[in-house]
Structures are given as structure tokens and as C-alpha cells.
Amino acid sequence: MFESAELGHKISKAVYTKELPVLREALLDTQLELIKAASFPVIILLGGVDGAGRGETVNLLNEWMDPRHIETHGMGDPTEEEQQRPEMWRFWQALPPKGKIGMFLGSWYTAPILDRVKGKIKSEAFDHSMENIARFEKMLTDEGALVLKFWMHLSKAKQEVRLKTLEKSTKTRWRVSSRDWAHFKLYDKFRKVSERAISQTSTAESPWIIVEGEDPHYRSLTVGKVILEALRKRIAENNVDAKHKTHVAPLLPAIDNLHILQRLNLNLKIEKKKYEALLEKYQGKLNLLMRHPQLKDVSVVIVFEGNDAAGKGGSIRRVTQALDARYYQVIPVASPTEEERAQPFLWRFWRRLPRRGRVTIFDRSWYGRVLVERVEGFCSSYDWMRAYGEINDFEEQLIDSNTILFKFWLSISNEEQLRRFEERQNTGFKRFKITDEDWRNRKKWSEYEQAVCDMVDRTSNTHAPWTLVEANDKYYARIKILKTLCERLEAQLGE
Amino acid sequence: MFESAELGHKISKAVYTKELPVLREALLDTQLELIKAASFPVIILLGGVDGAGRGETVNLLNEWMDPRHIETHGMGDPTEEEQQRPEMWRFWQALPPKGKIGMFLGSWYTAPILDRVKGKIKSEAFDHSMENIARFEKMLTDEGALVLKFWMHLSKAKQEVRLKTLEKSTKTRWRVSSRDWAHFKLYDKFRKVSERAISQTSTAESPWIIVEGEDPHYRSLTVGKVILEALRKRIAENNVDAKHKTHVAPLLPAIDNLHILQRLNLNLKIEKKKYEALLEKYQGKLNLLMRHPQLKDVSVVIVFEGNDAAGKGGSIRRVTQALDARYYQVIPVASPTEEERAQPFLWRFWRRLPRRGRVTIFDRSWYGRVLVERVEGFCSSYDWMRAYGEINDFEEQLIDSNTILFKFWLSISNEEQLRRFEERQNTGFKRFKITDEDWRNRKKWSEYEQAVCDMVDRTSNTHAPWTLVEANDKYYARIKILKTLCERLEAQLGE
């Protein structure tokens, strides 16, 4: 969930100084249009980790736009007056009217998240709060509001550094309270609860946008650009029915061209000899684990996704070699059949779910919805945006019913893909593996990259994490996959 | 919630025999169009009380339409095969493809409702199930399915009679099991849990349709006509985007012209002398109750709705005469101001909510959304359909935060309204009370009636019931209102 926001995004001062005036002018112009039309309100939530620059961002936005038409709400603890009404009363009082922007530093998320982190409420009550919030926000978007939710994130290490740096200078020491340090101690809990909140309330109409908060230039430009793009789209769509309003897509603009896939070290390699030894080791281990008596009560689902020619087939074979043929099934996922097209998109995966004690391997999967269908425009942005939530719901049901779920993304470089395509083209017995479609997809490399990053950010979570596999070297990829399988199985079986 | 389904709806055999062939032919024709287009699936759920004719209805529908394109699912307890997968797996297996109709006698509601009635799960877990179901059904409708949910209802007395009647005849005795009687003992719990389920999962896209199950002619014609109308609308809308698909409106067709308002005895009267005595009695009582120390921690909200000229103003005055002027406020609700139009429709009511120890009386209210705005077309059917859920959410927040909520509908007959309008027109000092708009509204009498019935059915529940007030006689109405206030306050304050 926070993968893309822990990469160390950074914008140099030179770039920032160059881009800022353009952004500011565009923001101001667009705000003027918003004010003039006064046809919808804009609600901006800034949640996230302490010290990730929420306050600074709000100040900047007030500087960049006309502050007379922005209402900023700190929303600390409720006043005595507010305590006398339903909890949501004070937020209703603070809603911006059409044409205005309301910014919320604390919001309807604050109390349930803190209460859960501090153990004051149970997970059921927390989930119930999130459901109520989702309904409240659906009402807001149905009523025409543009709701933008930013989650300013810092990794644990970065948050510690930041708090310490602030404390060092007498000028900034006042900004660090003992409350900040108390919160820091709860970082891991806070992260887990936030992950749940974000995944339960990210909808097609109002998804969370997670922004790395460390570098002020990066986070300011990012928030500014997302707001600008969303405002522009929404103003252009003004005559469209409320149900068709803006979906914030692409979810995160490529501000500094840094993303999770880039961070993979695709040069990782294993020599053939060592590979053969490791292969034997992990296949043996996997075979043993799969015969563990506890596994009779558990289902295993393994998802393989990856670039074309990334080596999914070969990897799957190395896994199945370790399995008992009676207990596994490999499902190659191509275009849906006519029967499957007559059903909701998840139907063809539901029907393939393994019973207890069995393994199902999906060679491509339900993620096609947010990859190929998104990029090729086979479904509307509303459809693939809602798919993240639907997929999370689906996978939660798998996990709740005792399924161990693995999700592998096999990543190769653009150059390596070209090399493999050409090799396939030039080798008679491999030629069947390469089609015109592969070449067409290749032309949309960066759109696929964006889709993969959004997919990982929006569907990776503690119980169903994505494993990104550096796959330029097939040996390395296969061993990483086998090792991941063994390690998580061991952990789950309590070995 | 079940108000309209406890009226004793009945269709004579003559009418039934006349209408049936027309309905059957239309249903069959429409089904053929559905099969031919094969552009969406139809999912029909039949839930409700035992003995309310669910099974019979499914059999009839199979008779009336082409059963080769209908899949009927009994959905008893999960098989061993099904237990090995996530709970929803067996329902996914049973989903009808595009062009087909899937009928579910047991459904995803069955287990959570029974578990809750039997106390196996807590209310939080039950609510969570309902939320999951709401998300699942939203996915279905987003994917294009037409989802029709019928709740076949019998009052407690009627259910008992029905079970006993079945038991009397040797021909039908087999149909009553000890399980049926065991369920009957839980009737009140079942009713309460069902009410919650229905209110949590009635959305604009797939609202529950509550059908009185006693008379077979009535219930069969009703279900048949709702299905026919929904199919026709949806086929006609086929080229419209999925988000704009059918909203089942009007929610219940007027099959037998019997509705809750008709059942009111508008002749109820109180003589002037007696009225004056009772007025003094109840005003005194109300005044005492309002000074009860417990009331310092409670807010009171009183909603007055009713036909034009039904006497809302006079009734409100009789209430406020009993209150301490420092502690109450009367909010007359007319068209929204410009400021209010710039906000979600509930905003102008949220801002008026009383603090603890105070009383707010709304002379007209948030129900305008599902009354005048619906009938006059000031908002789309999607907007007023979603408003029922939004209003229920809103009122739940009031109640959860210690508010006692009263909702009065003042009902007068068409003739009495005419008499009052003419009197106003002809009396100088009353003339200001009658406008062209009143005369225009009067022309839409039956549309308003339908809207009022839907409103009561969809927003009356244990914690926030509607009180229907027979208001042809002003004295009677005022006393009923004062008495209702006193009695519920007494009950809530534990007097």
C-alpha cells in the first residue's frame, strides 16, 4: 500500500523553481473558474503520518490560490458545543459550499484511527466506522462534491529522522511535541490501521492518494498537480451527470519519474551451478511443506503476473515440479470466453478457487482488469477504479476462508523484453510464443508501468502482499519465487 | 418498515383471472427480449417470513415464463464441497449469465439473519455482513445485473393463522415443519433483524420490495408486475451506461389500491369540551416531562410533515405552548436558500440540530427530498432513491447521540383539503395561507400519496417510527400528537 511512497521521491530545487510558477498560475486560473461556476464544492483531506508535511502543504496551497475561497479546518478535539451533537455535526458545519475549497487537516478519519491504534475500539467497530465514512463520502460525491484525499506518508526510519532534525534546531523544536513521539512509538500499529482505513475507503469516486512526505518539493508539486488535474477534469465535465464525475486517474502523476519498478535491481543474477543447487533445495523444501498435515485445511492460490516474456511459464513449471500432480491446477488466463463474458469479471476466477488442501496457480489473473483492460480501454475508468476495491474484497474473502495467497509480479527491463522478443521471433520453436499483440503492448510500456505501480499500491497489503520479482535473470527470478513460497508457507504453518 | 405489508392486501379471484393472462403474456414477451438481447442478467431474491409464499411465487414465475431460461436455487445449508471454499463461492457458482434469470429462495442474507436471530453473532458482526452484502450487490449492479429483492412479509398474527391452517389439512400438513414453529417463536427477533437487514441494504440500485404474503393473488400479481416493469425499463435503457440503470420506481405498484393512508380512520373526532380538558392535561404533562432532569442529557427533534392545510402550524403551537421558550426552536422549512443549495441536501438540517437539553421542531423537514422533490421532479430518481438510505443513516446518528426523534405525518382527506383551501380563499385573514402552489400540488394528490407510503415504508423503524395522525379533526390530531410525545418521552425517561 505504501510501496510507492517509500522510494525517496525528490525534486531538485532547480526543477521546483522552474515548475512552480507554471503550476501556481494554472492553479489560480482554475480556481477562478471554480469560483465563477460555483457548481461544485471541493473537499480536500490531508491525513497521514506526523511530520509528513500536512500543515506545510495546506499553507502552501493557501499561498498559491486565492485564500478567500479556501476554508481550512484544523479539527482538533471537539469543543463542548460540538460534543452536544452527533459526532459528524462539526464536519457538516465545516463543509465548503459550491465554488469553495474546504481543506481538512483533521477529519472524520482522525478519531477512529487513533482510537483503534490506542486499542480503545475493536477491529469490528473500526471497520464499522470506515463503512459509515464510505457511505458519508458516497453521499458527498453523489451530491456533486469533488473529494480529494491525500495521505502524506513517511517510512518509520524517515519519520524518526525528521522528528530528530526538527528537534535539533531551536527554530523548529517547538513543532515537535511529546505527543509526536508518543505517536511515533505506535508507528507500526498506526501503519497497519491506516492501511486498513485506506483500503476500506478507497473508492472509484474518492480514492486515497498516497504521497511520500519527505521531500517538500516533491510533495508540494504532487499535491498541487493532482488538485489541478482533478479540478480541470471536473470543470470540463460540468455538464455530465453526477455519477460520471472525475475519477482521479492516473492516480499519481509521474512528478519525478521515480517508481517502484525502477527501484528494482534487474541486474541481480544467480550463476547456473548455484541455481541448480538452490533449485533442488527449495523444490525439495516446497514439496515437504506442501505435504504438511496442516495444509489439508488450507487452500493455496498463487498469482503470476508480469511483463510479456518475463518468464511466467518457466517459473510456474519450476513450482509445479515440486508439487503432487493430484493436488494442483494451473489456470492459464486469456481473453474471457463467451460464457465468462456473460458474468461479472471476477466470476471466472471464483469458479476456479481450490478446495482445502489444493493449490491453484493462475497464469495471469483478475488483475487483468486493472492492467490490460485499463491500458487498452476495454473498460471505463469507473470500472477499473472500482476494481481495486472489488479485488481487495475478493482477496479478503479468500484469506478469511483459510487461503494462503501469493502474488508475483515478474519484472524485466524494456531492453531485455526486446531481446527476448527478437530471440523468439528468430527461433523457430519459440515463434508461437510471440504475437502482434505483444509488439503492440510493448509500445504502451510506460502506461503499463503506471498501471502496475497503481496496482501494487492499491492491492498490496499485509495479508495479501505483492512480491516484485527481478526477472531479467530467469534463474534469479525462479529462486526468489520458490524461496518466497517456502518462507511464507513456513511462517504460516508455524514451522 | 412493514407498514404497507400488514394492511390485508387482497385481489379478488375475478380480478386475478382477468389480469393474469395479460400479465403472463407480457412477462413471456419481455423475457424473450431479455433472452434475445442477452445483455444483462436478472437476479431475483425472495426472502421473508416462512409461510409468506416464497416457494409458491417461484413456482408460479417458472410457470409464467420460459423455465429453460430461469435457474432456481434453493440454497439450503452448504454442501461439503461448498464448505471448502469462501462462503460466497456457492452464490458465485449460481449467478445467472446475461439473458437468464436466477431466482434465489435462500440467499446471502439467510445465514447472517438466522445467525443473528439465534444470537450466534453480535450486532456488529451482523452489520458487517450487511455491509459486505451491500458491496457485493453494488458490484453486481455495477457489472450490469438487474437485482430485484422481494421480501415476502406476514404479520405475526397472520403467520400463526397460516401455519395452523396448513397443519389442519392432511394435504398440506407436510409443509409445516417443527423448524417453522421454532422460527415462529422467534418472530419478533426475526422481524427486528430483518428490519435492520432491509434498511442496511436497500440502495437506489437494488432496493428491497416488501410484499404482503397472505393473499396469493395479491402477492403473485405484485411480484409479477414489479418484475415486468423492471425488465421493461431495463431493456429500454439498454444503451444507457451501467450507472444509470433502472431504479425500481414507483417502488410498489398500486395493485389493489389499498395503502396505509387509506386505512386511517379520518372520522376520528374529539368534542371541543373534551378536547380542552385533554389539551390541558397533556400540555401539563409534557411540560413536566420536559423539565425532567434526565432530559438535560437528551436532545429532542420533532418532525412535522403532512398534506397542505393539514394543520401542522396549529399542532406545533399546541406543542410549543407546553415548552419553555428558552429551550426550543421551531424551524419552518421552505425552499432552500442560495447558501443551502450550495450544500448537500441534509446540510440545512444538520446545522439546526439542537444541543443537549433542547428541542427542535421542524415544520417540514429533510423528507422534502422524497416528497415534493420526488413528485415535482426537482431531483432524479437516483437522487431520491438514495435519499432513503441517507436519511436512515442521518437519523441513526441522531439516535446514537442521544436524540429522541418524533416524526408525525398529518393526514387529511382530499375533500377536507378542498374545504380548507376554499375556506382560506374566502377568509381575508387566512388568504395569505393559500397559494397557487397549493392548488398545483393538490392536482398530484395520488402521486403524493404514493410518495408518502414509500417514505413511511422505507424510513419507519423501531428507533425512529412514523406516527400517522388522523387530522380531519384538528382537535383529535393535536391530542394524538401531544399524547404520543408524552408517552414516548415517559417510556424513554423510564418514568
Q: Quickly list DSSP for B157-179.
A: HHHHHHHHHHHHSTTTGGG--HH
More confident position, B62 or B172: B62
Instruction: Kindly list the strands in the beta sheet with A42-48, ordered across the sheet, starting from the edge strand earlier in the chain.
Output: A70-73, A101-104, A42-48, A146-153, A208-212
Question: How close does chain B come to A485, measured CA to CA in Å?
Answer: 21
> What type of residue is B43?
I
Q: What is the DSSP secondary-structure string of A468-480?
A: EEE-SSHHHHHHH
Pick from A81, A390, A401: which is nearest to B355 by CB? A81
Q: Is A350 on the interface with B (CB under 8 A)?
A: yes
Q: Residue B391 pLDDT > 90, yes or no?
A: yes
- For residue A341, give every residue at least 6 positions away whose Cβ sits within 8 Å of its Cβ, in sequence order, or none: B98
Question: How close does chain B come to A179, measured CA to CA in Å?
Answer: 29
Of the pLDDT bands very low, low, confident and very high (cuts 50, 70, 90), residue A146 is very high
A48 by DSSP, 3-state: which?
strand
B393/A136 Cβ within 8 A: yes
Q: Look up cell 393535536; give the residue.
A: B478
Residue B462, judged by CB atoms within 10 A of its CB (0-12, 13-18, 19+), counts as exposed
Q: What is the pLDDT of residue B163?
A: 83
Are B75 and B46 within 8 A, CB to CB?
no
- For residue B107, give every residue at least 6 positions away whose Cβ sits within 8 Å of its Cβ, in sequence order, or none: B45, B47, B75, B91
Q: Is B346 on the interface with A (CB under 8 A)?
A: yes
Calpha distance B343→A205 (Å, rounded):
18
A121 by DSSP, 3-state: which?
coil
Q: Residue B426 pLDDT > 90, yes or no?
A: no
Residue B112, judged by CB atoms within 10 A of its CB (0-12, 13-18, 19+), counts as buried
B447 by DSSP, 3-state: which?
helix
Calpha distance A202→A118 (Å, rounded):
23
Q: What is the DSSP secondary-structure string of B243-280?
A: GG-----SSS--SSS--TTTTS-TT----HHHHHHHHH
Query: A-B interface: how many C-beta pairs under 8 angstroms?
Result: 130
Question: How close does chain B come to A203, measured CA to CA in Å?
Answer: 11
Please confirm whether the linkage preceding B250 is cis (ω < 30° from 0): yes
A125/B128 Cβ within 8 A: no
**CA geometry: angle A166, A168, A170, nearest 5 deg:** 85
Calpha distance B308→B296 (Å, rounded):
34
Chain B residues closer than 8 Å to A400 by CB = 86
Calpha distance B459→B4 (Å, rounded):
12
Calpha distance A490→A470 (Å, rounded):
23
> B114-144 burial by CB neighbour count: b if 16+ within 10 A, else e?
bbbbeeebeeeebbbbbbbbbbbbbbbbbbe
Q: Is B128 on the interface with A (CB under 8 A)?
A: yes
More confident position, B342 or B286: B286
Q: Is B76 on the interface with A (CB under 8 A)?
A: no
A95/B344 Cβ within 8 A: yes
> A205-233 burial by CB neighbour count: b if 16+ within 10 A, else e?
bbbbbbbbbbbebbbbbbbbbbbbbbbbe
Are A305 and A407 within 8 A, CB to CB?
yes
Q: What is the pLDDT of residue B153?
A: 93
Phi/psi of residue B183, nearest 5 degrees: -65, -40
Calpha distance A144→A249 (Å, rounded):
18
Cβ count near B349 (within 10 Å): 23
Question: How close does chain B come to A243, measured CA to CA in Å?
Answer: 7
Any bridge partners for residue A146, and if so which?
A42
**CA geometry: angle A369, A445, A361, nearest 5 deg:** 45
Q: What is the pLDDT of residue B107?
A: 92
Chain A residues closer than 8 Å to B85 by CB = 299, 353, 355, 401
Closest CA to B159 of B263, B259, B48, B61: B48
Mutate to test the interface with B, among A100, A139, A205 (most CBs of B within 10 A): A139
Question: How close does chain A come to B237, measured CA to CA in Å?
Answer: 16
- For residue B81, give every residue at least 6 positions away whose Cβ sits within 8 Å of its Cβ, in sequence order, or none: A355
Q: Look up cell 408460479; give the residue.
A: B60
Of the pLDDT bands very low, low, confident and very high (cuts 50, 70, 90), residue A495 is low
Phi/psi of residue B210, nearest 5 degrees: -95, 125
Assigned C-alpha cell, B381: 430518481
Of the listed ranges A146-150, A238-242, B279-283, B294-298, the least confidently predicted one is A238-242
More confident position, B87 or B485: B485
Q: What is the ipTM of this complex?
A: 0.81
Calpha distance B134→B116 (Å, rounded):
17
- Per residue in A120-132, pLDDT tens? 999 888 998 999 9
Calpha distance B437→B378 (Å, rounded):
14
Chain A contacts in chain B segment 95-114 (CB below 8 A): 95, 97-99
A244/B401 Cβ within 8 A: no
Of the pLDDT bands very low, low, confident and very high (cuts 50, 70, 90), residue B167 is confident
Q: Is B36 on the interface with A (CB under 8 A)?
A: no
* Residues composing chain A: 495
A127/B85 Cβ within 8 A: no
A326 DSSP assignment: G
Q: What is the pLDDT of residue A250?
A: 57
Pick from A84, A355, A386: which is nearest to B142 by CB? A386
A87/B401 Cβ within 8 A: yes
Average pLDDT score over chain A: 89
Any bridge partners for residue B43, and if so which?
B102, B147
Nearest CA in chain B to A99: B342
Q: What is the DSSP secondary-structure string of B53-103?
A: SHHHHHHHHHHHS-GGGEEEE---SPPHHHHTS-TTHHHHHHPPPTT-EEE
Q: Is A85 on the interface with B (CB under 8 A)?
A: yes
Assigned C-alpha cell, B350: 444538520
Query: Cα dist. A178→A159, A183, A191, B183, B430 in Å?
Result: 14, 9, 19, 57, 67
Question: How close does chain B come to A42, measured CA to CA in Å?
Answer: 11
- Per residue in A333-384, pLDDT tens? 988 888 888 888 999 999 899 989 999 999 999 999 999 999 998 888 888 9
Largest CA distance in chain A: 79
Of the pLDDT bands very low, low, confident and very high (cuts 50, 70, 90), residue A277 is very high
Nearest CA in chain B to A396: B86
Q: Provide mean pLDDT across the span A288-307.
A: 93
Nearest CA in chain A to B139: A390
Q: Provide mean pLDDT across the span B340-347.
A: 88
Of the pLDDT bands very low, low, confident and very high (cuts 50, 70, 90), residue B46 is very high
Q: Look up cell 492460490; give the residue.
A: A301
Residue B31, judged by CB atoms within 10 A of its CB (0-12, 13-18, 19+), counts as buried
- pTM score over 0.90: no
Q: What is the pLDDT of residue B305?
A: 97
B199 DSSP assignment: H
- For residue B425, give every residue at least 6 positions away whose Cβ sits within 8 Å of its Cβ, in sequence order, or none: B431, B434
Closest CA to B465 of B199, B126, B185, B204: B199
Chain B residues closer than 8 Å to A243 by CB = 243-244, 382
Q: What is the pLDDT of residue A42?
A: 95
